[in-house]
Amino acid sequence: MTKLKLGVLISGRGSNLQALIDACAVADYPAEIVIVISNRPNARGLERAVAVGIPIQVIEHTAYSDRENFDRDVDAALRTVGVELVCLAGFMRLLSAWLVEQWPDRIVNIHPSLLPAFKGTDSHAQVLAAGVEVSGCTVHFVVPEMDAGPIILQAEVPVLPGDDEDSLAARVLTAEHQCYPHAVRLIAENRVTVTDGRAVIAN
Ligand code: GAR
């Protein structure tokens, strides 16, 4: 089986990276991770990659005076190893329009809310403040606008009485770990097409 080559971009803990690593370890999973790139040298996720022999690269954003030069080096690192799909997994940098345009419908992100609701970095706090009873996660294609782009897959979790940000985040994270590998599988199986800004899944 020819596997889709993934490049995973992280900034921190890397539990979604781990979910992808675990999925890729199953023989019939149609994708493989060929590089993990972090913008932070101390991201814990890097250790997860090293532990299973996946090449890593640190590209520190602090070394760059402008975003596009950083993104050009990220792009070059991805191309060098033949990446076909870029997976943002807790990558806390906005991508430049330039980088997004190099990878049309070839960059995916996971966000810890049911988009388009509760964009940004404090989704769980927003959910609790709004008093909604359902939250969840979204896997979507990346477009230049933050937390927008065609939605591939969503999973719901309940917001329970007494929840705080940590308890809600933990429940959502469990759903993320299911959802992200599943969405990547659908893409790798060529079952996802984007038409008029919407992602459609075949069968
Ligand atoms: C995850 O909850 C992910 O959805 C979120 O950061 C966390 C990363 O955790 N991403 C965003 O908020 C992107 N806007 P992880 O490093 O353990 O995968």
pTM value?
A: 0.97
Residue 60 has a pLDDT of 97
Whether the bond into 41 is cis, omega within 30 of 0: no
Question: Which positions of the chain have pLDDT values less than 50?
Answer: none
| Residues taking part in catalysis | 111
- Taking the centre of ligand 1 as the mean of its atom positions, its distance from the CA of residue 166, in whole angstroms, is 13
What stretches of the chain adopt beta strand conformation (E)?
A: 4-10, 31-38, 56-58, 85-88, 107-111, 134-141, 151-158, 192-195, 198-201
Residue 38 has a pLDDT of 98
Tokens coding 36: 């993990």
- Contact between 82 and 55 (Cβ < 8 Å): no
Q: What is the pLDDT of residues 80-135, one digit of tens each?
A: 999 999 999 999 999 999 999 999 999 999 999 999 999 999 999 999 999 999 99
- Taking the centre of ligand 1 as the mean of its atom positions, its distance from the CA of residue 122, in whole angstroms, is 11
- Taking the centre of ligand 1 as the mean of its atom positions, its distance from the CA of residue 125, in whole angstroms, is 14
Atom of ligand 1 nearest to the CA of 120: 14
Look at strands 198-201 and 192-195 and give their pairing.
antiparallel
Residue 1 has a pLDDT of 85
Q: Which residues line ligand 1 (CB under 6 A)?
A: 12-16, 45, 89-90, 110-112, 121, 173, 176
**What contacts 68, CB < 8 A, 6 or more positions away?**
96, 98, 99
